[in-house]
Structure 1
Amino acid sequence: MNRLTVDPIACRAHGLCADVLPELITVDEWGYPVIHGETVPEPLLAEARRAAAACPALALRLRKVD
């Protein structure tokens, strides 16, 4: 299983992650990401990787969990 996490201190609210992965990420009223769901479903794993790579602040991480 994989999980997306956001470092709230590093995040600069660019919103690119929500553009790449709107199925799991929305933005709040200030533009900061809100991640929906505990884990990333297998069909969305490639998009989750792209969303993490697209983050200019490197605040979005995709982590493997047991």
Structure 2
Amino acid sequence: MKVAVDGAKCTGHARCQATAPEVFALDELGYAVPGEREIAAGAEAEARRGASACPERAITVWGDPLGRPAR
């Protein structure tokens, strides 16, 4: 499973990191670190919660290991 943060959309609310600190990191200015990365096994639900917490919808989660579409 993967997660991607669109740095152009992030406005620094940091709700993703507050909700899912094991998945999302912040830069020195408090914005979610942009880019695409793999999610550790077992952190899928946490990644989805963090993405759902983003008011700008700057986070995409996809690639469920069981072949189901990510939500």
TM value normalised by structure 2: 0.76
More strand by share: 1
Secondary structure of the structure 2 residue equivalent to 1:26:
coil
Runs of 4 or more, structure 1, over 6 Å off, are none
Number of positions where the alignment pairs a residue of Structure 1 with one of Structure 2: 64
**Corresponding residue of 1:52:** 51
Higher relative contact order (CA 8 A, sep 6+): 1
Larger-Rg structure? 2
Equivalents in 2 of 1:65, 1:42: separation in Å?
10
1:5-61 per-residue CA deviation (whole Å, 9 max, x = no partner) reads 0111111111001111111212111111127x9311231111111111110000011
**Corresponding residue of 1:7:** 6
Unmatched segments (≥5 aa) in structure 2: 66-71
Q: RMSD over aligned Cα, in angstroms?
A: 2.2
- Superposed, 1:19-30 pairs within 5 Å as 19-30=18-29
More helix by share: 1
**Corresponding residue of 2:68:** none
